[in-house]
Chains A and B, each alone.
Chain A
Amino acid sequence: MKLDPFTLEIIKNAFVVANEEMFHAWARTAKSPVIYEVLDFAVAITDKDGNLIAEAPGVPGFSGVLDFAVKEVVQKWGKKIMPGDVIVNNIPYYSGTHLNDVTLVAPIFYKDELIGYTATKGHWTEVGGMAFGSWNPHSTEIYQEGIQLPCVRIYKNGEPNKDIIDTIIINSRLPDYTFGDMESQVASMRVATKRVLSLVDKYGLDTVLFAMKKILEESERYALLKLRELPKGEFIAEDYIDSAIAGQEEPARIKVRVRVTDNEFIADFSGSSKQVRSPINSPYPGTVAGVKEVFLAITDPHMTPNSGLFRPIKVIAPEGSIFNPTRPAPTSTYWEAMACATDLVWKALAPYVPNKLTAGHFVSIIATIVGGVNDRTGQPFAIVEPQPGGWGAGYDMDGTSGLVACGDGETYIASSEVYEKNFPILVERYMLNTEEGTGHGKYRGGFGVIREYRILNSQALVTIQVGRREYPPWGVNGGYNGPGNKVILERRGQKTEVRRLTAEILSRGDLISIRTSGGGGWGDPLDRDPKLVLEDLKNQLITTEIAENIYGVVINANTLQINWEKTKEKRNQLKKARGRF
């Protein structure tokens, strides 16, 4: 087919624009802050086979996960799907995350011809289950995590399917929010459908279908081009997920074998732990999305993702494993294992792709809820938030401090002033975590944070899950590991470290102290430029003891001068002691 290449380019861009409009339409009209503030959602347009033509994930953990849900619809509904239908699906094993993330899929028909789908997935605040907000760190079976919606019609021929909707609503503790989010989700999909159809009107059906095909082909070509810049071979990494969050006595062993060839990028998780009776399991599509995230990081982080770009990726995860759990495995805090899938592939490749990857970061989102009923107003309140932490050092730079984990992206940590105005808590300290420190190295990891909430209410409930405590962020090429994440509860002056809580009761004056880990270091600390060590000391990020004993840099604490002679001596001495010659 002959089409001028520039018009084709404009049509291709139009899919991205249509998709962005869908994204903003939902963000603008959703009722739950988790959608419009946290951007815990994703939208996509696919072709009729479920290949992503354009996608816009609000968080990186949703990259390339929507095609699974559409393909499930294609498989289950096939030719039975009608114009005006909207299919709902939240079964993690097929759609990728947890029951809170509800996927809607709607066909795009031009006259009688099915030309593609719009698909959206987002975190509904409430879908029932054993705990308020549905997700919680203690479920042992999916049946405790909320209502399951197995790829059924929520709209038929453009009309709401009241039978299903009523069933969903009655299962929700916040029916208004649930219904509102659903309505805005459906409305946003109509926006994109309208745009795609107007493209067909303007350029003709054949042209638009041709453009969709070209998008996939070109992106695949680009992915292969980028793949060829990567080192080839097999890269292996192993790690563990802390026993405390795996809900068992042993830590969960995880393993990946990454094979990079000229045409393929294969992540094989064989040998990883079986699924656990704790909700950290990452459903297969989630695991795949986790791998896609690293793939984007090491190829081109600014590429508009679509299925063509992801074609070289193959993910192997044995059924029944922590990376491909089967019913009735719980998955409501799936992000823990999913982030580990990303982290593991990252770890395998970091030394070989230093221009794109850093040492390990604090990984665990440390999802936190602090809530209750405000004594003063009688109204319920709830803080629901991820925590920021330290990122790993690069081969040529220190890690970044106080950043959200890889599963989060354009996610904003709330202002202390906003919290203190709205909730009966005091943010006593929010600062860089120089107390536990970071992974030292030629370049050091970024610092985690200390975030402390003092309860100013008669009672408050805390839910939290702390990963990466025993198996901390990893260093590269002799860089030190980070210290690991840590959360301490202080009740009536009594301090206890906690790993996993659901709705634990705290009283007035109690303190929750969240101390996230610094990132891993890169290279031997003895190779660090002494001036950078001095800088860190001057900025009170490290102590003179650390400067001397870890970095071998002798500094006069009063004058802040480096003693170069003693430094040379000290470094030689440390090198010998550490077996470096």
Chain B
Amino acid sequence: MTYRVGIDIGGAFTDLVAYSDDTGELVWVKVETTPQDLSLGILNSIRQSKIDFSKVSMIMHGQTLVINSIVTKEGAKVGLLTTSGHRDILYLQRANRRDIYNFRYVKPTPFVPRYLTFEVRERIAGDGSVMVPLNSEDVKKATLELLKENVESICVSFLNSYIDPTHEIKAGNVIREILKSENRNDVHLTLSHEISREWGEYERTNTAVLNAFVKPKWIKYLNKLDSEIKQLGFNGVFYLMLSNGGVSLLNFIKEYPIYTIESGPVAGVIGGIAIAEIIHERNIIVLDGGSTTTKASLVEDLVPKVSSEYYVGRSRYEAGYPLKVPVIEIAEIGNGGTSVAWIDEIGRLRVGPKAMGSYPGPACYGRGGDKPTVTDAYVVNRLINPNFLLGGTLRINRELAINAIKPIAERFNVSVEEAAEGIIKLANENAANVIRLISVQKGYDPREFTLIVHGGSGPMFAPFIAEELEINKIVIPPIPPGVFSAWGMLLTDVRHDFIATNVLLLNESELEKINSMYEELDKKIERVFRQEGFEEGLIIYHSADMRYKGQEHTVKVPIKTGRIQSEDINEIVEKFHEYHERAYNFRLPNNPIEIVNFHSTGIIKVSKPILKKEVVKGSPEEAVKEIREIFLNGKYEKVPVYDKFKLPTDKKVFGMSIIEDPTSTILILGTQEFYKDEYGNIIIKRR
């Protein structure tokens, strides 16, 4: 009997999901995250799962160490080497004022101060030619200075290294030699071109610097974790979740922690795609309704959108830190189950972005929270069963929820139930906006997508959102909401994405160069997979960021793998027109077309656990556990409450209903119908 195990460290909880290859059984465990020493939480979860780790064939691991280290600015002291004349890259950034009316706007603080940034005489021109050869003396001097300053990590980022990295490589060798001769092998090195081959010196430098910033801590963590799980008898394969929706082996990812920046949330998208595949849907929006935020990601034809337009700490009013690493595109807004309802200065009701989180949590938890939250509103109107929540371990107090909402009701001179409904409506509206963001605003019609919903608050929001946006089908998977990301990790393939910039016209005469760009990327992918010990099963996909010559904006277009022949060009051109028109509403039929970024993806498929099928017989009536009076649409109404496990397979139920299991509540509106399929998915449709 062997297991595969997904472990996801989140801000509050560490989740473990184990899948038995033989029985198809799923085991899940949730323990508190231990921020001081993350591996402690992992060991706790392992202990609680009672799984024999000598029987575990593979572990897939996602974590928040990398992003937390950046957000809290707790990482290494980093030194930076730049091209002479360009020392202040990290200070200048892109000079935008994101908070446009705030005259006291402050840019994000660089991760390397000016005095730890050294200029090196060297210059590669925009066409790749060497204008000034690398001055090794400058590199040497800078390195020695940095060692005197006790830096723990050194980063090199030269202008135009995305075209020709020779100077970075040479500088890297000089630095390594010094580290060796000074006996300072504890100092880590990051070269910008190793992480990104895209243009944009600020973005690439910042990416490399953040990698350098996290690296010492990261390596320490991985080494400790690795030895600890080996002590438990584990001798399987240890994979780490990447932000591109794939996994990679420990020895590769040790050098590049920055590739794992969003490893938790993207696993949820991968889980959503797996569900879509099972139920034969190809175009989906994965919605993750959490306790403080709602996230959404649009997936077209089962392929997640992976791009390198990612920022840490970006918001409507903050520029954040750009990262040129492949990340599945996910939008997020500050609206979740514990978002607080409040009245603003001119007396309007607002919901979020402030949230109570899991502690003290909503007022109804009775842990001292007295702010009215979205969850309290659901409890007041009896949409949530006060008799069980959080697996039945936490009792809910409806009186406390009523007390919290009362001031709002009094302020608007309405009943507490009406006030609660107001809060629910506004929260739903906020959640709908995150979907508008990734669909309508990008040229997609949400009505053409199926909504796959997870997270604690997701199944409560989703039916309202679907009504508002006229989405026809909602799927709520049978995986408990809290561990969906950890489950998603079990379904992840080994994957690497490499992207390189070179502006080339798409025509016959440039074909040689175009093909050689892809060949180089493919070689790199093959090399990395070989380093990881994979010999077989590699599938490579190509895509390109393309644009009309003369325009700035690009669209990502899939391109056939293998050498592009001259007869393929027309097909690529036609596809580009089509993608461009969808994204930007126009095409320029005779305009020359350029490729700007070459993107190559390598995947080795991992065999995946499938959901267990189970047919439940009987009638829906037998699954009714109670008739509850709930408050919706301005009045009390009697609604059947179904026990999710007892619901019969494939039997349709019409009209307003509530479905419960020990970990979640699903609401179905009067305009909708639902059934449970053989995998245990709840499928909701508009009528």
Contacts and interface: CB of A to CB of B under 8 A. Distances in A.
B105 interface: yes
B97 A408 contact: yes
A409 B97 contact: yes
B583 interface: yes
B208 to A, nearest CB: 14
Interface in B117-136: 125-127, 131
Contacts of B347: 218
A564 interface: no
Q: How large is the interface on B (under 10, 10 to 19, 20 to 34, 35 or more residues)?
A: 35 or more
A180 B440 CA distance: 21
B653 interface: no
B317 interface: yes
Given A184-B585, A430-B92, A36 B552 contact: yes
B503 A404 contact: no
Given A9-B349, A28-B583, A418 B412 contact: no
Nearest to A428: B85
Contacts, number: 194
B238 interface: no
Interface stretch (A243-251, A295-303, A488-496): A295-303
A429 B433 contact: no
A218 B347 CA distance: 9
B553 interface: yes
B100 interface: yes
Given A5-B412, A21-B440, A60-B101, A417 B346 contact: no
B329 interface: no
A331 interface: no
Interface centre among B87, B317, B414, B423 (most CB of A within 10 A): B87
B425 A539 contact: no
Contact of B93 (A28, A357, A402): A402
A158 B459 CA distance: 43
Contact of B345 (A60, A225, A452): A225
Interface centre among B104, B348, B414 (most CB of A within 10 A): B104
B95 A29 contact: no
A70 interface: no
B212 to A, nearest CB: 19
B245 to A, nearest CB: 26
Interface string B136-179: 00000000000000000000000110110000000000000000
Contacts of B436: 17, 21
Contacts of B98: 409-410
A581 interface: no
Given A9-B349, A409-B97, A31 B586 contact: yes
A561 interface: no
Nearest to A398: B106
A314 interface: no
A413 B91 contact: no
Contacts of A20: 441
Interface centre among B86, B95, B433 (most CB of A within 10 A): B95
A55 B98 CA distance: 17
B202 interface: yes
Given A9-B348, A302-B317, A431-B86, A402 B92 contact: yes
Interface in B230-279: none
Contacts of A205: none
Interface string A386-420: 00100100100100111110101111110111111
A403 B584 CA distance: 30
B96 A28 contact: no
A10 B350 CA distance: 10
B346 A222 contact: yes
Contacts of B105: 391, 400, 403
A221 interface: yes
A345 B91 CA distance: 29
Interface in B177-209: 199-203
A430 B85 contact: yes
A200 interface: no
B417 interface: no
A412 B503 contact: no
B345 A449 contact: no
A413 B586 CA distance: 27
Contacts of A4: 414, 418, 422, 634
A416 B115 CA distance: 23
A231 B571 CA distance: 66
Contacts of A296: 101
Interface in B558-594: 583-586
A422 interface: yes
Nearest to B316: A302
B605 interface: no
Contact of B103 (A31, A297, A302, A432): A297
A409 B99 CA distance: 7
A421 B199 contact: yes
Interface centre among B94, B426, B503 (most CB of A within 10 A): B94
Interface in B327-349: 345-349
Contacts of B101: 60, 63, 293, 296-297, 301-302
Contacts of A420: 125-126, 159-160
A417 B423 CA distance: 49
Contact of B425 (A6, A221, A421, A422): A6
Interface in A176-224: 180, 183-184, 187, 218, 221-222
B8 interface: no
A400 B107 contact: yes
Nearest to A63: B101
Interface in A413-468: 413, 415-422, 426, 428-432, 449, 452
Interface in B353-387: none
A397 B88 CA distance: 20
A346 interface: yes
B199 A418 contact: yes
A132 B73 CA distance: 48
B125 A426 contact: yes
Interface centre among A37, A187, A538, A539 (most CB of B within 10 A): A539
Given A7-B425, A346-B103, A417-B162, 6 more contacts: A4-B422, A5-B349, A10-B426, A17-B436, A301-B102, A394-B104
24 contacts: A6-B349, A6-B422, A6-B423, A13-B429, A20-B441, A36-B553, A37-B552, A57-B100, A222-B345, A301-B100, A301-B102, A302-B317, A346-B103, A400-B105, A401-B107, A403-B97, A416-B86, A416-B201, A417-B160, A419-B126, A426-B126, A430-B88, A431-B86, A538-B115
| 8 A-B pairs with the lowest CB-CB distances in the bound complex, closest first | A420-B126, A6-B422, A409-B100, A388-B95, A301-B101, A429-B85, A539-B114, A29-B585
